[in-house]
Amino acid sequence: MTEEFKSGFIAIVGRPNVGKSTFMNRVIGEKIAIMSDKPQTTRNKIQGVMTDKDSQIVFIDTPGIHKPKHKLGDYMVNVAESTLNEVDAVLFMINAEEGYGRGDQFIIDRLQRVNQPIYLIINKIDKVHPDKLLPLIDQYKEKLNFEEIIPISALEGNNVPHLIKVLKEQLPEGPQFYPEDQITDHPERFVISEFIREKVLHLTREEIPHSIAVVIEGIEPRENSNAVYIQAAIIVERKSQKGIIIGKQGSMLKEVGQRARKDIESLLGSKVYLELWVKVQKDWRNRQIQLSDFGYKEDEY
C-alpha cells in the first residue's frame, strides 16, 4: 500500500433500468448485481468493493428511484433515498437512449437536498449517435449543479476508466474498509437468491411482473465431497404465476435451476446441487411481515 491511501463510498442512483447494475459489475469485475432489462430489478442496497494499490471505492447500487405503488416500492425508494447523505459522492445515472423524463425530475428534486458532490453519468452512449449527447448535456445542466458530466457505456466499458480516475481524485484519504479480495458486503445467501431471481426474470420475460421473491431455505455441504446442496423457494403472488414458472412438465423451473447453478458454482467455487420449488403467497408485496421475512426490512435503511 502506498503512503497515501484513499477510500470512500459512492452511491449510484437513477431511474429503473438505466444500467446501474451493469456498471457495478463492470467496475468490480465480477457479477454481484443482477442485471435485467426489466425496471426495478435491484431491491436492496448492493455494495460492491473495488480495491487497488492506492484506493478502495465502495459502490452502493441502490434500487431505482420511482413513485412507489406498493409497500415493496416504498421500501425500495426509502433504501435509495437514505443512502444519499451517507456517502462521499453520488452518481446520478441516466439512459442516453431515453433522455430526460418525469422520472428524472422526481430524482433531481431529491438530489437538491444532497450536500455531497453529484456526478451526472450518461450511460449507454454506445446506443446513440454522438450528436445526441450535447443537447442532452445542456438540458441536464439546467436542472442541477453537477460536479461533472461524464458519458459512459457500462456495457462496453467506454470512458469507465476516466470516471474511476475522477472519483479517485476526489476521494478523501482513508482506511481500507474491506480486505482486498472482498468484492461485496452481502452474505452468500443474498447473492445466491439474487442469481435465482435474475434467471426467473430473464426466462419469463413479460409473463411475470416483479411479484417474485427468492428465499434460501438451506445451504449444506454434501458429505464426503466438495459439493454444496442448496434449497430455495421462489415466492409468487398468484397460482397462475406458479404455473408459468414451473412450466410444462417442470421445464421452466429446470431451466431456471440450470442457469442459476452455473453462477452459483462460479461464486462458491464448488459443485452445486440446487433444489427449487415455487410457493404462492398472495399480495406479499403489500404485507410488511412477509416483506421482512423475505429480507426487505424497514430497519435496514
Residues contributing to the annotated binding site: 14-21, 61-65, 123-126
Q: How far is CA 18 from the centre of its chain?
A: 11
> 156 near 124, Cβ under 8 Å?
no
Q: Which amino acid is at 131?
A: D
Annotated binding site for GTP: 14-21, 61-65, 123-126
Contacting residues for 242 by C-beta, under 8 A, at least 6 apart: 236, 278, 279, 280
Interatomic CA distance for residues 230 and 214, integer angstroms: 12
Beta strand 46-52 pairing with 55-61:
antiparallel
- Cell 426489466 found at: 38
Q: What is the DSSP string of 153-179?
A: -TTT-TTHHHHHHHHHHHSPB----S-
Nearest to 11 by CA among 82, 101, 68: 82
Q: Which amino acid is at 15?
A: R
